[in-house]
Amino acid sequence: MGQKKAISQARDFIKSGSSLDNAEKLMADLLKDSTNRGNEKIWMTLFDAQQKQYEQGNEKLYLKQKYDTASLFNLTKRMFATLEGLDSLDMKPDAKGRIKLKYRDHSAELLNQYRPNLYYGGVYFIKKQDYLRAYDFFNTYIDCSANPMFAKYKYASRDKNLPQAAYWAVYCGYKLKDPQATLRHTYLALKDIAHENLMLQYLAETYKLENDTVRYIKTLWDGFEKYPTFSFFFPRLIDNYVQQNQYEEALKICDTALKSDSTSVLFRYAKSNVLLLQGKYSECLDISKSLIAKNDTLADAYLNAGLSWFNQAVELDKNLQMSQKKRNKILDCYRNAMPYLERYRALAPEQKSKWALPLYTIYLNLNMGKQFDEIDKLL
């Protein structure tokens, strides 16, 4: 009796087109009780209340009347949940084990009309930076392609928006720092060629978040090989091999990158860094000087040029017993390093940890009392 009364009340609300939210609540409350979930009328009445609300909201938007767009998208989501719930009930076998689908075709036909709103709802909530809700919309949109309820529409092969929806789902998972959500639709998202470089970036960062070093490095390589000039992959690959002291491997990456863009300041500077770490000072100096010739305000190029000379002096100075000739060579190296490091100091005064000690050493060895006293106070 309680069910009948609530259903009757809800039907009256729907018929009059008023208190539709109350009609929806009456049916939703009934479905909270598991004993009521086998009643098809409750599901159908619930959907009718939601659909009527959708139609009223859509009409207001069409007439440019005030209406909350988010409500329309949320109604779409609830309508899907309702008719998918009815379909689950429809799938239950009868006493003889037979399944007779009474509602599926009609439900699928209705939801197929509303399905684009799942996609646009996801886009809407991304713009609002509500990534959790946006993910839910895209996920529902994508899942339709594997749902038997929509089999006749063949979304998997016919829906050209699926890869892009999968990309946005991955993006939402990435923004939420949720590895499971990020990786769920990876295979499909990688078919969205327009966003493939970003997809590989999100995957790499997700693998790093999960401490999966093998997949992290593999994804960096995949990205670098396909998009060598994209800003994300190259520096992280270089950093990985430099940290492991695998300088030859890092140098190969630099040379590969330079084949794709021989004028890139980033690639040339990275190569000068690796050469500096390898102790190939002459080659490092050549690249650094060529960078300075193109841009005389490139601070790090001055640093590498200065350190190329400075490191040579330090290595020569390790020998406690040396000739005057060798001593003079050391002093020449310090003299050559000095203008580069002083220029670096002028361009990057906040980087004291990089220029202060080398200049201190240079001024000390060259007996430059005034400059030495000034930097001694800084240290």
pTM of the model as a whole: 0.85
Separation between Cα atoms, residue 284 and residue 305, nearest integer Å: 7
Name residue, tokens 């993006």. 171
Spell 292-315 as b/e; 16+ CB within 10 A means b: beeeeebbbbbbbbbbbbbbbbbe
Extents of the domains making up the chain: 280-379
Cα separations in angstroms, 131 against 74, 126, 174: 14, 6, 9
Region at 319 (left for phi over 0; alpha for psi -120 to 50; beta for the rest): beta
Alpha-helical regions (H) of 210-321: 213-226, 233-243, 247-260, 265-278, 281-294, 299-316
Mean pLDDT by 10 residues, the chain (379 residues): 90 94 96 92 97 94 89 97 95 86 95 97 98 98 96 96 97 97 96 96 96 96 96 96 96 96 96 97 98 96 98 88 86 97 97 96 94 92
* Sign for the pseudo-dihedral over CA of 156, 160, 164, 165: negative
